[in-house]
């Protein structure tokens, strides 16, 4: 049953991606923690084992992000919290990246604030240029932007010590700025064709 459902969803996404008048975006929220992540690494046997410091905190930075699955453009927005108002602000920002004459279709999860009553008027008003396509519950593997978060963590936070939370923000922002324009890295990472 699950395999059949996933095949149906993939076929639907391919159809959206192949439409000339549609831009397909994948959207999700993410947290990057100040304590970073430790991962195994190879060290030559003649060298002393490295010491990786970790910040003893649970602080994190939060952001909305969307990647265009056809050309690899990334749009992000840092937020203190995720709710209907901040989600609406991100959708407005995403609409600014709409190509002339194209409709944006956004694949996203079923977070409660994605269905908020506060959004209904906004979505009705923009129904000709914006469509939200919800993924099945508990299926992050179907959302291509999850791969972007994984790559960002590997590049920016693995085995890195952040003394201050601002350093996490700077590291993530620097990487995401390189992906703001169409790029082959994210296009290949998130492709569905």
Q: Establish if 99 belongs to a structural domain.
A: yes
Q: Establish if 146 belongs to a structural domain.
A: yes
Token pair 């963590």: residue = 153
The share of the chain scoring above pLDDT 70, in percent, equals: 88
pLDDT, tens digit, 9 for 90 and up, residues 71-91: 999 999 999 999 999 999 999
Q: Establish if 43 belongs to a structural domain.
A: no
Q: Establish if 7 belongs to a structural domain.
A: no
Q: Establish if 62 belongs to a structural domain.
A: yes
CA nearest 73: which of 92, 94, 87, 54?
Answer: 94
Burial 6-18, CB ≥16 within 10 A → b, else e:
eeebeeebeebbe
Q: Establish if 33 belongs to a structural domain.
A: yes
Q: Establish if 80 belongs to a structural domain.
A: yes
- Written as six digits, the tokens of 175 are 């990487």
pLDDT band at 1, cuts 50/70/90?
Answer: very low
Distances (CA, A) of 110 to 7, 48, 93, 136: 19, 47, 20, 7
pLDDT, tens digit, 9 for 90 and up, residues 130-172: 999 998 888 888 899 999 999 999 999 888 888 899 999 999 9
Residue that wins the pLDDT comparison between 35 and 99: 99
CATH number at residue 135: 3.30.420.10
Helical (H) or strand (E) element with 133: strand 130-134
State which residues form the domain around 64.
22-38+50-190
Q: Establish if 5 belongs to a structural domain.
A: no
Please tell me the total count of domains within the chain. 1
Helices and strands (H and E) in the chain: how many: 6, 5
User: What are the residues whose beta carbons fall under 8 Å from the beta carbon of 162, sequence distance 6 or more?
Assistant: 34, 35, 36, 55, 168, 171
């Amino acid at each position: 049953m699950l395999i059949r459902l996933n095949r149906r969803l993939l076929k639907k996404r391919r159809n959206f991606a192949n439409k000339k008048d549609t831009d397909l975006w994948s959207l999700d929220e993410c947290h990057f923690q100040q304590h970073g992540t430790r991962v195994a690494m190879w060290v030559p046997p003649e060298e002393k084992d490295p010491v990786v410091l970790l910040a003893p905190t649970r602080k994190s930075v939060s952001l909305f992000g969307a990647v265009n699955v056809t050309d690899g453009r990334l749009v992000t927005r840092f937020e203190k919290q995720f709710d209907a108002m901040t989600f609406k602000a991100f959708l407005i920002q995403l609409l600014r990246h709409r190509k002339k004459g194209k409709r944006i279709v956004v694949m996203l999860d079923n977070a409660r604030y994605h269905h908020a009553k506060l959004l209904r008027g906004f979505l009705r008003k923009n129904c000709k240029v914006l469509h939200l396509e919800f993924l099945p519950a508990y299926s992050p593997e179907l959302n291509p932007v999850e791969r972007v978060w994984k790559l960002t963590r590997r590049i920016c936070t693995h085995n890195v010590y952040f003394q201050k939370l601002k350093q996490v923000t700077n590291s993530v922002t620097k990487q995401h700025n390189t992906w703001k324009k169409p790029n082959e890295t994210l296009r290949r990472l998130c492709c569905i064709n």
